């Protein structure tokens, strides 16, 4: 259902501000819920020779580095299939690499320390390398930083990830992306080749208002880092996938893994982190997952707030407009504020496993109180006084009197039930810490 008129009007103002402030010949902006556009606005023109060619939701723009998120998902599917490990080194998949101990995980999170661009001054000559040239240049490139020392963005690294995807799948990178992602998600207007209604790229000089046309060229071996073209409607669908992955494409657990911070890209403000392929942007108490893209004549931003499945999309055909992350996240935030997503209704359970009954209620550890309860037949734990909305720890059986924490606090750790001589529950240990029915000091039970 489209947003209410008042919400649409407010979003219209934000879109017009972005178009004017960024001096964008043709801007396309949208906000989606669960993969479907609820609001869209096209402003200006995709082609200065056709002033009435207003962008629509099917207008294709080069999305540049948003392509990296597709490469990252393809890498993670290969990991899930057991065909690579994130801690594999590049030379395990690209024999002959002279850079030691550069891992796939480092390339995904921009922590390898490899130089930003392929050798040859590609954005000086505007000649992109072929695959064989990229691979040869990889060993000639500098490792300009120590691994995991700090975040350092690298198009070269993502181009190599695309090469690894192509080699393991036995086809071109774009063919792997088509089969693994675009076809299952029915993203029919996303490709490395322009087609149909397209936005021409421009550069607006700082001291005049007369746009200059930018060149349209093939990214070649840089496609995995920045070669895709897409539309507002397709990218809305992509945002819906980020919020709620389709198992056919990627396991929801793997998407959750990709959204865990690997490095802080903003060490001063701590508002911008990098996951495994995703930008993780904190804004007004929410985390937005997505990416930006910059290419001659096109700057784009696509960000999703996963909890509400809200996606902000902005596509701009100017080389130097407003910040795409600020614009996309700002529109998404406004939509959440004006039309918040109603929480799911509480649903009564049907049964409580008998073995869990003695574990329910209040427990104490390190002087702090916890509550163990049952929801939908599963054991949960929550610290007393935790902020509203804090997810509980959820447990699954892992043997007799043993449970594994599968989500929330202490994920992965075991909860053990200890019994007295009569068989009753005497205490619990969770992540090796003792939990008792009464608050006790450390060692008071000895």
- Calculate mean pLDDT across residues 426-440: 96
Residue 446: pLDDT band by 50, 70, 90 thresholds?
confident
- Calculate mean pLDDT across residues 100-111: 97
The answer on pLDDT for 70 being more than 90 is yes
Instruction: State the pLDDT at residue 389.
Output: 86
The answer on pLDDT for 409 being more than 90 is yes
Kindly list the distances between the CA atom of residue 346 and the CA atoms of 342, 343, 375, in Å, as whole numbers in the listed order. Answer: 12, 9, 10
Determine contact, residues 105/276, Cβ cutoff 8 Å. yes
Nearest to 57 by CA among 242, 314, 291: 314
257-294 pLDDT per residue, tens: 999 999 999 999 999 999 999 999 999 999 999 999 99
Residue 1: pLDDT band by 50, 70, 90 thresholds?
confident
Q: How far apart are the first and last CA of the chain?
A: 62
Instruction: State the pLDDT at residue 80.
Output: 98
How many residues are given for the chain?
446
10-28 pLDDT per residue, tens: 999 999 999 999 999 999 9
Separation between Cα atoms, residue 311 and residue 35, nearest integer Å: 8
Q: How far is it between the farthest Cα atoms of the chain?
A: 88
The answer on pLDDT for 158 being more than 90 is yes
Cα 293 from chain centre? 14
Residue 357: pLDDT band by 50, 70, 90 thresholds?
very high
Mean pLDDT of the chain: 97
Domain architecture of the chain: domains with CATH: 5-338 (3.40.710.10), 354-435 (2.40.128.50)
Instruction: State the pLDDT at residue 244.
Output: 98
Task: At 333, list the tokens.
Answer: 């935030």
The answer on pLDDT for 445 being more than 90 is no
By CB neighbour count within 10 A (0-12 exposed, 13-18 middle, 19+ buried), where does 64 fall? buried
Separation between Cα atoms, residue 25 and residue 15, nearest integer Å: 13
Rounded to the nearest 5 percent, the helix, strand and coil shares of the chain are 30, 25, 45
Helix extents (H) in 31-177: 67-80, 104-109, 122-125, 131-140, 155-169, 173-177
The pTM score is 0.94
- Structure-model confidence comparison of residues 66 and 126, the more confident one: 66
Q: What share of the chain has pLDDT > 70, as a percent?
A: 100
183-221 pLDDT per residue, tens: 999 999 999 999 999 999 999 999 999 999 999 999 999
Instruction: State the pLDDT at residue 443.
Output: 85
Radius of gyration of the chain (CA): 25
Q: Angle formed by the axes of helices 131-140 and 155-169, to 10°?
A: 130
22-46 pLDDT per residue, tens: 999 999 999 999 999 999 999 999 9
């Amino acid at each position: 259902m489209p947003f209410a008129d008042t919400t649409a009007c407010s979003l219209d103002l934000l879109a017009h501000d972005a178009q004017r402030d960024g001096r964008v010949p043709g801007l396309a902006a949208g906000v989606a819920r669960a993969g479907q556009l609820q609001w869209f606005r096209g402003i200006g023109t995709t082609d200065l020779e056709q002033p009435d060619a207003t962008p629509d939701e099917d207008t294709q723009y080069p999305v540049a580095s948003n392509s990296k998120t597709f490469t990252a998902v393809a890498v993670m599917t290969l990991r899930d299939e057991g065909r690579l490990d994130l801690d594999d080194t590049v030379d395990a998949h690209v024999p002959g690499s002279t850079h030691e101990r550069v891992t796939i995980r480092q390339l995904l999170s921009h922590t390898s320390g490899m130089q930003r661009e392929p050798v040859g001054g590609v954005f000086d000559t505007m000649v992109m390398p072929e695959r064989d040239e990229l691979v040869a240049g990889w060993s000639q490139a500098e490792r300009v930083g120590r691994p995991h020392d700090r975040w350092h963005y690298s198009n070269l690294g993502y181009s190599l990830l695309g090469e690894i995807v192509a080699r393991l799948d036995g086809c071109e990178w774009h063919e792997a992306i088509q089969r693994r992602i675009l076809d299952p998600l029915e993203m029919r207007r996303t490709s490395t080749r322009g087609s149909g209604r397209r936005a021409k790229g421009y550069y607006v000089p700082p001291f005049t208002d007369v746009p200059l046309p930018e060149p349209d060229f093939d990214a070649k071996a840089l496609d995995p880092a920045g070669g895709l073209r897409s539309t507002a409607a397709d990218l809305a669908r992509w945002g819906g996938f980020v919020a709620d992955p389709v198992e056919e494409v990627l396991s929801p657990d793997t998407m959750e893994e990709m959204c865990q911070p690997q490095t802080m890209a903003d060490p001063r403000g701590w508002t911008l982190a990098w996951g495994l392929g995703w930008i993780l942007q904190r804004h007004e108490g929410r985390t937005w997952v997505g990416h930006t893209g910059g290419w001659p004549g096109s700057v784009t931003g696509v960000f999703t707030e996963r909890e509400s499945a809200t996606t902000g999309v902005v596509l701009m055909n100017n080389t130097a407009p407003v910040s795409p992350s600020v614009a996309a996240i700002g529109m998404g935030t406004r939509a959440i504020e004006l039309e918040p997503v109603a929480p799911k209704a509480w649903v009564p359970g049907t049964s409580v496993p008998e073995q869990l009954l003695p574990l329910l209620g209040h427990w104490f550890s390190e002087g702090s109180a916890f509550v163990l309860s049952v929801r939908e037949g599963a054991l949960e734990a929550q610290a007393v006084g935790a902020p509203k909305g804090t997810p509980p720890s959820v447990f699954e059986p892992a043997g007799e009197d043993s449970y594994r924490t599968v989500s929330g606090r202490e994920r992965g750790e075991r909860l053990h039930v200890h019994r007295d001589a009569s068989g009753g529950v005497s205490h619990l240990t969770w992540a090796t810490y003792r939990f008792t029915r009464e608050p006790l000091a450390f060692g008071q039970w000895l």
